[in-house]
Amino acid sequence: MSWDVRQTRRFARVYKKLHDNTLAEVDAAVEAVARNPDSGEKKKGDLAELWVYKFRCLGQLYLLGYTRDDGVRLVYLEAVGPHENFYRDLKR
């Protein structure tokens, strides 16, 4: 059974700017996370509440950052983008 998925404003802003060929890969990653939120890895330190799912798109490593609420089986999509500066931008 899959979890419900919600987008944050930050995620929606980046998502609408992605190219069509990248959108399909991001959608597949979101479906994978909705089916199994444990598929990502939990971060440590000041991003301890964040989970990150890694996937490849057009030969480049992309990251999908999300948080989850186990009580209501809900996944909040926080950010998506290439690995470059991903964590720096998330801390802002």
So what's the pLDDT on residue 66?
98
Q: What does CATH list as the number for 4-91? A: 3.30.2310.20
Residues in the chain with pLDDT values less than 70: none
Q: Is 40 exposed, middle or buried (0-12, 13-18, 19+ CB in 10 A)?
A: buried
So what's the pLDDT on residue 29?
97
So what's the pLDDT on residue 69?
95
Backbone angle region of 45, left / alpha / beta, with phi > 0 → left and psi within -120 to 50 → alpha: left
The pTM of this model reads: 0.93
Element (H, E) at 9: helix 9-15
Domain coordinates in residue numbering, the chain: 4-91
**What residues contact 2, with CB distance under 8 A and at least 6 apart?**
31, 34, 35
